[in-house]
Amino acid sequence: MKANRERMCAQEREFVYELRVGGQRLELSVPLQFPVQQDPGHLHARLMLLHNLPCFIENDLKDTLSQFVQCATAQDHDREAEAALDAVKAGRVELHQLASAWARAYAETTLEHARPEEPSWDEDFADVYHDLIHSPASETLLNLEHNYFVSISELIGERDVELKKLRERQAAEMEQVMRELGKSLTDQDVNSLAAQHFEAQRVLEQEWTSELKQSSTIQKQEYQEWVVRLHRDLQNPNNSSISEEIKLQPGHLREVEEAGGRVYEELRKLEESFTIHLGAQLKTMHNLRLLRADTLDFCRHQRHQRSGVKLRRLQTALSLYSTSLCGLVLLVDNRINSYSGIKRDFATVCQECTDFHFPSIEEQLEQVQQVVVLARAQRRSEAKDPHDPDNRNGGSDDKNKTTDRNPSNIFPGEFYITRHSNLSETHVAFHLCVDDSVRSAHITARDPAISGLRNILKVCCTHDVTTVSLPLLLVHDMAEEMTIPWCLKRAELVFKCVKGFMMEMASWDGGVSRTVQFLVPQKISEEMFFQLSSMLPQIFRVSSTLTLTSKP
């Protein structure tokens, strides 16, 4: 037997469940806040767990709780409706305002009455650029982008020269002061001079940062206006000046020489390519490449383009707004900034060429930090929920882990994404957080870095990234502890895990052909490279051609 009763206390109502077992009468009383924000199905499961209720009353408790919530909610709605009608009858509510509010709410929630969304400038510019880059004006666009790139590179070169001169002058001043230390000068004089040097460097860096930012802003505005104007003129078949406007003579391409006449030379790259078929029933063909190269080579532009725009930059521009994007995995620390390590080098490459389509790297990192702080706050609020049974035991560890760290930092295995149109062979950068544990020889498939790779590949499947480049050894540079056995063991682990992830891709995207590029550091030996190259087909079972001959 069972019964329900309720006692009103503001918006709180009491749910009572009664059960008779033999001659005993058992009663469960639970206060509920209305309106109920949770699914009654989840709520009843929490009641079963918190109060250790027997399993044979589970279905009955669920039905009773659902009926109670439904009836109480309907009563609240009826009471609110009666109060609203009484207010109208008593003249406390103006009918005209009420009708206007209803009409506005209906128009906002009904699609056929809603006003069409106005297209944004970014969407319009993306469509215009996509049309032009697939037209005879594509070479002109890329040549103009290269000229802008050279202009920014010259400013960066001037900045580096000034900073170098300032540091050399300050070093000479500090050396002279140190010689006089203990004679005519004291430690306080040395500290004062060091503070002056630091402030002078900071001011000079801020001045150049402001100038570079202003130049990039002007370039972006000029470029976008020119692209839109050119597209509009191309729509007019009677405009005879278009053929001259889209021509840019090779002599107009500006070149830049580095200080001292040094020419940028690419180190010798090693590369092996394979074609594989993965899948149980429906097999999908994928391309695998093993490369010995610098990770940032997929981002850098060539400053000395004597022969014009290179094909790889053209291909990147053609696929910018397409379903064949290129992604790159960068291993970073838990701080979201561009001040150290490969993050600084990557940001420098991004700053060398103005991004005409997406926000700058600094603006994107600021947005990521805001999202991370908001996510951490939500997790902390969920961890403090006293009604969540997961927080009674296991939740405390995660809570301490969250509160002990800076809320703007991320955890190993987590990653953030930045978008770029100004890199040579990359549209999307996945910044995967790793710690020093990746240098250990004992990591397993459950390591956060491996889990992060799986999540990155899943994002690639859901967001049309068909080419992804990732570090095979989960490091960008070699170290002393990375011996031949260490490299072979690490490569085998990553190969096997990526193979499993790629087999999962069939369920994620229906089986789309993709290209996965495994990158190894440039300092790795050729012998080690070819050992890794021989390991790859053994793990992935590369398809080979079978030749059949018949005897006469």
Residues 6 or more apart whose Cβ sits within 8 Å of residue 456: 327, 329, 415, 430, 432, 468, 470
Nearest-CA neighbor of 144 among 234, 219, 87, 232?
219
Q: Provide the whole-model pTM.
A: 0.71
The answer to whether 32 and 69 are in contact (CB under 8 A) is: yes
CA pseudo-torsion sign 487, 349, 416, 210:
positive
Q: What is the pLDDT of residues 77-123, one digit of tens each?
A: 888 888 888 887 877 777 777 788 878 887 777 766 666 666 666 77
Q: Collapsing DSSP states into helix, strand and coil, what is residue 418?
A: strand
- Give the β-pairing of 325-332 and 415-419: unpaired
Residue 324 φ then ψ, to 5°: -135, 70
- DSSP secondary structure of 485-530: HHHHHHHHHHHHHHHHHHHHHHHHHSS---EEEEEE-TTS-HHHHH
Q: Quote the CA–CA distance of 537 and 278 in Å, as a whole number.
A: 13
Angle (deg, nearest 10), helices 448-462 and 484-509: 30
The answer to whether 467 and 327 are in contact (CB under 8 A) is: yes
Highest mean pLDDT of the ranges 33-37, 429-433, 461-465: 429-433
Q: Quote the CA–CA distance of 393 and 404 in Å, as a whole number.
A: 18
Extract the tokens encoding 280.
Answer: 């149980």
HEC profile of 457-495: HHHHHHCCEEEEEEECCCCCCCCCCCCHHHHHHHHHHHH
pLDDT at 115: 63
pLDDT at 400 over 60: no
Q: What is the pLDDT of residues 40-65, one digit of tens each?
A: 777 777 788 887 777 778 788 888 88
pLDDT at 5: 38
Extract the tokens encoding 21.
Answer: 């077992």
Over its C-alpha atoms, the chain yields an Rg (Å, rounded) of 32
Question: Which residues does residue 430 pair with via DSSP β-bridges, in sequence order?
Answer: 329, 417
CATH, domain 270-380+407-540, list 3.40.190.10, 3.40.220.10, 3.20.10.10, 3.40.50.620: 3.40.220.10
In the chain, count of helices (H) and strands (E)?
14, 9
pLDDT at 10: 47
C-alpha dihedral (96, 79, 64, 10), degrees to nearest 10: 110
- Give the β-pairing of 428-433 and 12-21: unpaired
Average pLDDT over residues 135-160: 88
Instruction: Catalogue the E-assigned strands of 2-119.
Output: 12-21, 24-33
pLDDT averaged over every residue in the chain: 81
- Give the β-pairing of 428-433 and 415-419: antiparallel
Q: Quote the CA–CA distance of 349 and 214 in Å, as a whole number.
A: 18
Q: Quote the CA–CA distance of 329 and 38 in Å, as a whole number.
A: 39
The answer to whether 44 and 50 are in contact (CB under 8 A) is: no
The answer to whether 31 and 13 are in contact (CB under 8 A) is: yes
The answer to whether 288 and 264 are in contact (CB under 8 A) is: no
Q: What is the pLDDT of residues 298-356, one digit of tens each?
A: 998 876 554 444 567 888 899 999 999 999 999 999 999 888 889 999 999 998 889 99
Q: Which residue has the higher pLDDT, 22 or 350?
A: 350
Residues 6 or more apart whose Cβ sits within 8 Å of residue 315: 425
Least confident of 166-170, 263-267, 456-460, 544-548: 263-267
Residue with tokens 């230390």: 181
Please give the single-letter amino acid code of residue 201.
Q
The answer to whether 22 and 7 are in contact (CB under 8 A) is: no
The answer to whether 421 and 427 are in contact (CB under 8 A) is: yes
Q: Residue 262 — very low, low, confident or very high, per pLDDT cuts 50/70/90?
A: very low
Q: What is the pLDDT of residues 464-496, one digit of tens each?
A: 999 999 999 999 998 888 899 999 999 999 999
Extract the tokens encoding 347.
Answer: 């940001």
Q: Quote the CA–CA distance of 227 and 125 in Å, as a whole number.
A: 8
The answer to whether 200 and 166 are in contact (CB under 8 A) is: yes
CA pseudo-torsion sign 420, 423, 427, 428:
negative
Question: Where along the chain do its domains lie?
Answer: 12-112, 122-261, 270-380+407-540
